Amino acid sequence: MSELQLALLAIGIGVIGVLYAFGWWQQRQYRRRFSEAFGTDRADALYQGSAANQPPDTTMADIAERATGYSAPTADSSSTRLDESCSLIDGRTDFIIELHPSEASLPSALHGLWQRKFDFGKPLQVCGLAISGGKWERVIAESPSLYDRFRIALQLADRSGAISAAKLSDFRDLVSGIAKHIKADSTVPDIDDTHRRAQEIDAFCAGVDQMIGVNLLPPGERLLLGSKIAQAAALLGMKLESDGAFHLPDAQGHSLFSLSNRDAQPFQHHLLETMGTAGVTLLLDLPRVENPAAQFDRLMHVANGLAKSLQVNLVDDNLMPLNESGLALIRERIAEVEAQMVAQGIAPGSAQARRLFS
């Protein structure tokens, strides 16, 4: 071996030694910072909750807590350490598997999960306890952040129904395989208990999933022109959205109620000048709006405004004219739905309600 080769070999060995020493020093500094930030005396905000404030009647929260040992965080406990999306993860409504990697990990450690995120037929969300800041936050696959723990949550029900036991098992097997691959401890709820809970949630949601419709029909055979409908709706603050209906948004941009075509054809900007329809319908989606009784009164105000502008009649689904006694019955039903949802801890119009009724 020549002197030049020997010199290059010595330089290479020296560089490797320096890199190894630097890596050891970084790891030592990281572990020191981690220990200071996340000592064992720190509480886990996502699991905090007080049984003292539980109502005497059994609710979905009671069922979920008995089945999984998981209780939803209180507003006070979650406000400082949970971002909004992670605060919605709840043992009542989600199948939650928690992973404790042996060392802080990047989201890329969950590679197999990201590939199959849409395979389970229900929304899936990943939250992580970030090393930086000590806060539970929604995890993005490409994020460079390090996480000490992951919570992987699969929603149990939505308007398409309850998740199947087969999907739950598939999800469990996938996440358990990832846990084994990255050498992480895992906490996995029982599949049978979770599936029963999904069916209970679905049954509850089906019972309160109500829409109130008010039809606006022109007398005789006259058609309503799309352009006239658009003008009248705009004057009342409604906007045409991508679903082909006009919506009245609240301050956060959520739809309070909608105005749709009674015919099959959706409203489209480029067709408004040429299309005609035999009538339109105002729809109030009760579980998805805050204070639905007040929103119904607002809907009726808009309905009367449209009736005046378009010269139409207001009728119910049986094409009978709306009167005060009929409106009083509708308000009673709205109050019943709201009371049932509040009793289960899922207020109409809340972010949790919008998840379940989507």
What would the pLDDT profile of 163-215 be if each residue is shown by its tens digit? 999 999 999 999 999 999 999 999 999 999 999 999 999 999 999 999 999 99
Res. 216: pLDDT tops 60: yes
Q: How far is the C-alpha of 348 from the C-alpha of 290, rounded, in Å?
A: 5
Res. 19: pLDDT tops 70: no
Q: Is residue 208 a contact partner of residue 349, using CB atoms and an 8 Å limit?
A: no
Cβ-count burial of 92 within 10 angstroms (0-12 exposed, 13-18 middle, 19+ buried)? buried
Q: Is residue 269 a contact partner of residue 315, using CB atoms and an 8 Å limit?
A: no
| CA nearest neighbour of 299 among 356, 264, 250, 261 | 250
| CA nearest neighbour of 288 among 344, 242, 250 | 250
The pLDDT assigned to 180 comes to 96
Segment 111-129 mean pLDDT:
96
The pLDDT assigned to 59 comes to 55
Topology agreement, domain 49-206 and domain 209-356: yes
Q: Which residue has the tokens 């036991």?
A: 165
What would the pLDDT profile of 41-99 be if each residue is shown by its tens digit? 333 333 223 333 334 354 555 545 544 444 444 433 443 456 788 999 999 999 999 99
The pLDDT assigned to 83 comes to 76
What would the pLDDT profile of 279-325 be if each residue is shown by its tens digit? 999 999 999 999 999 999 999 999 999 999 999 999 988 889 999 99
In CATH, what number does 209-356 get?
3.30.1400.10
> Any idea where the domains of the chain sit in the sequence?
49-206, 209-356
Res. 1: pLDDT tops 80: no
The pLDDT assigned to 227 comes to 97
Residue 32 banded pLDDT, cuts 50, 70, 90: very low
Q: Which CATH class is domain 49-206?
A: alpha beta
Q: How far is the C-alpha of 168 from the C-alpha of 191, rounded, in Å?
A: 7
The pLDDT assigned to 85 comes to 84
Q: How far is the C-alpha of 47 from the C-alpha of 123, rounded, in Å?
A: 21
Q: How far is the C-alpha of 253 from the C-alpha of 347, rounded, in Å?
A: 18
What would the pLDDT profile of 225-284 be if each residue is shown by its tens digit? 999 999 999 999 999 999 999 999 999 999 999 999 998 899 999 999 999 999 999 999
What does pLDDT average to over the chain? 83
Q: Is residue 343 a contact partner of residue 57, using CB atoms and an 8 Å limit?
A: yes
